[in-house]
Structure 1
């Protein structure tokens, strides 16, 4: 899968850098050791942050700023990375979905990035393009129904939108039968910390999802 950044998006977000991780994986519903890691992370997070201080975490702040530049209010259409972190500091438990989703959430919380996670076999065509959502563009967010993506950063395959920082699309979501993962780490603040987040993701994929054939792509 090739990943491109549109001129329209790059013009508004010149500092953006992306990191993709692709792998063959074995998904499952639950792993106790992964949840121990999640529980430890949430304890540390609640000590370190408050709802107000979260806004100053560099990747979260950069994502919010990118929303504004693209034409979206980040307080009304909250980026998923901020939403996860705010849920934790409010004392609410994380949703347990499946191993692939859960470990991507771990990386998003620990490193602050918005991360898209996709079943790579469900893409149409061989290229993803990062652009900006249009008025009236149909998009079904996972568990959210129709989502107004006008002004949101959006990845599109040859059929249409597949991912935004607020919600990925139902069409390409990961499930227990997903054999090939594509995860995209969105660095709206540039390269700082991207490789560390990718390394952490690869570690978790190997440990909890038996990942093989791992490839990385910078864009």
Structure 2
């Protein structure tokens, strides 16, 4: 099985950092009506219960922003994907559908207030380490243009960096041709409810993408 580790450079600054990982074989579809109903319900609940000022007080969002500050990365300039999703919902802008895997990814992020990254395993090479980006490192972010990776928490394989808690790269993005995925639920707030988050993600993947779960693990 693929080896996934957290670099000590992250653990030293954020000892509670935890990854909830799911490896699965999936079927990617353009759209699923029942899944979209679940997403719409979640978005409505968030929109009716939160204001913009409330987003920064959410426990997992606050822990994530505090982590960025420890890494000397401005969380207001390089917003976490989890915070960006929530702010979009609270502003009444709603979500856009991409495909069933990306839609599930976004729903899990909304439910957990954690950044979630899902990657095409066929486009990942070798072992994976969650580490910090170095000076001068960049990649093409999905819908974001070039991302400055310096001091950003990033996933790296034998080829290079391919994902972060702000924006994932186009290299390992999910497409209609994706057959196997790695989903990472990233918590800077410890393993609180992580087992439950993984089980919820597994159920969504099985229900809406015909997933065959290969492995799950919690990494600290």
Both structures adopt the same fold (TM-score exceeding 0.5)? yes
1:207 maps onto 2:207 in alignment: yes
Corresponding residue for 1:187?
Answer: 187
By how many angstroms is 1:79 displaced?
0.3
Alpha-carbon shift at residue 140 of structure 1 (Å): 1.4
Shift in Å, 1:50: 1.0
Cα distance in structure 1, aligned partners of 2:214 and 2:79: 31
- Cα root mean square deviation, aligned: 0.9
Corresponding position of 1:26: 27
Other-structure match for 1:108: 109
1:171 equivalent to 2:145? Answer no
Within a 5 Å distance, the mapping from 1:39-188 to structure 2 comes to 39-125=40-126, 127-188=127-188
Give the count of matched residue pairs: 218
Which whole-Å CA distance do the structure 1 matches of 2:167 and 2:4 have between them?
19
Superposition deviation, residue 51 in structure 1: 0.9
> Would you identify which runs of 4 or more consecutive aligned residues in structure 1 move more than 6 Å?
none
1:59 alignment partner, SS class: helix
C-alpha separation between the residues in 1 aligned to 2:65 and 2:213?
34
Query: For the Cα contact (< 8 Å) 2:23–2:182, is it kept in 1?
Result: yes
TM-score, normalised by the number of residues in structure 1: 0.97
Deviation at residue 73 of structure 1 after TM alignment: 0.4
Question: Residue 22 of structure 2 contacts residue 215 of structure 2 at CA under 8 Å; is this kept in 1?
Answer: yes
Deviation at 1:65, TM superposition (A): 0.8
- Output the CA distance in 2 between the equivalents of 1:53 and 1:100: 28
2 CA distance for matches of 1:80 and 1:13? 18
Query: Which segments of 5 or more consecutive residues in structure 2 lack a partner in the other structure?
Result: none
Q: 2:37 maps to what in 1?
A: 36
Deviation at 1:11, TM superposition (A): 0.8
Deviations 1:35-93 (A, max 9, x none): 11111111111111111111111111111111111110000010000000100000002
- Cα distance in 2 between the residues matched to 1:214 and 1:120: 12
- 5+ residue gaps, structure 1, are none
Question: What secondary structure does 1:139 align onto?
Answer: strand
Tell me the TM-score normalized by structure 2: 0.97
